[in-house]
Amino acid sequence: MSTFRNLIKSGSCGSGIKKGYPRLRRYFGRFMDFVALIRPFTLLAPVLVGFFGSLICLKGEFWSHWLEVVYVTFTLMLCQAVGQCINQACGVDEDRINKPYRPIPSGRVSVEEAYGLAFLLTLISLWRGFTVSVTFGLWITVILFFAVFYNLKPFQARKYVWINLLWMSVSRGLLPFVVIWSAFRSPFELKPWLLGSIAFLWVFAFQPTKDITDVEGDRKFGIRTLPVVYGVEKTKSFIKWFSILPFLPLVLYIQFGLLSLPYLLLLNLAIIREIGIWGFDKRIGVTENTLSWVMFYLGLSLIFMLSWIAEVI
């Protein structure tokens, strides 16, 4: 208990990856370096996605499937962690310039250890996925394919502008609803693809926020992101205009009766959009990135949360 009182007193828990993790290493040693590899903040979105996505799919039958919901949520979280580990293992050259405090460029964790952790998490993800069902396990394999080969050859999608954007939009936007549906129902029902298309467009618009703070290292090592190829200001314009797109199919789906009227709740994402555009170049201390990047993840989570509220109204 005294350890945790000291953590709270020192403010370590709220100081973010640059200050908080070094303080936490005083108490937990190298364990915190491996925690930093999976970037815990980014795991919050798949947790919310898995939980609320399952609630949407189950339609009031949560208690008879609560254990499967836990497994689905945990598996999606692990898939995200796999992608983060491999991304840092493959991006160590860029991180030496962009984020030298990270575990690998700072020398606290080796590339081999990062790959080892990613491999272990991949095995657990596959085991957990196929334990839920064969169909869910197969879709988890698809998600892992996108997570792994975003960084690794022969695809290495992160190196190519537009391809990297579409790649992440499919894996983080379109597929999660479908993957969750596969655990409880048919993944080929219409609703998960409708909701997934809205999430796809959200990710397509806001994914470049991740690259705003990495331009120097990405440019040096040939990672062709939107800010590298077109510049930061044009990227901001891209986000401003393309972030309108998710609302267009939403209105059309409701107009044609494909989604119920309460799904208009998703229009509240416009508030997140405005904050994201305003915070485009505003860095915040507890994360590595900008306020716009935080709004990207928050908006993606809210698509699932607001969709659940729309279902229960």
Instruction: Please write the tens of the pLDDT for every residue from 226-239.
Output: 999 999 999 999 99
Give the H/E segment covering residue 243: none
* Segments of the chain with pLDDT less than 70: 1-24, 27, 285-286
Q: Percentages helix, strand, coil for the chain, rounded to the nearest 5? A: 80, 0, 20
pLDDT attached to residue 14: 44
In 3-state terms, what secondary structure has residue 110? coil
Residue 174 CA from chain centroid, whole number: 12
pLDDT attached to residue 64: 92
CA-to-CA separations, 251 to 118, 195, 236, in angstroms, rounded: 40, 12, 25
Torsion-angle region of 287 (φ positive above 0: left; ψ -120 to 50: alpha; else: beta): beta
Instruction: Report how far apart the first and last C-alpha atoms of the chain are (Å, whole number).
Output: 43
* pTM (predicted TM-score): 0.91
Give the H/E segment covering residue 25: helix 16-28
pLDDT attached to residue 255: 97
Prior bond of 208 cis (ω within 30°): no
Pick from 163, 190, 72, 54: nearest CA to 125:
72
pLDDT attached to residue 41: 85
Give the H/E segment covering residue 280: none
Under CATH, which number does the domain 29-312 receive? 1.10.600
Task: Give me the helices (H) in 150-285, please.
Answer: 163-168, 175-184, 190-206, 215-220, 226-230, 232-242, 247-255, 269-278
The CA-CA-CA angle for residues 236, 268, 276, to 5°, reads: 20
pLDDT attached to residue 167: 97
The CA-CA-CA angle for residues 16, 100, 161, to 5°, reads: 95
- Cβ atoms of residues 79 and 52 within 8 Å: no
Handedness of CA 162, 168, 173, 177 (dihedral sign): positive
Count of residues in the chain: 313
Give the H/E segment covering residue 68: helix 66-90
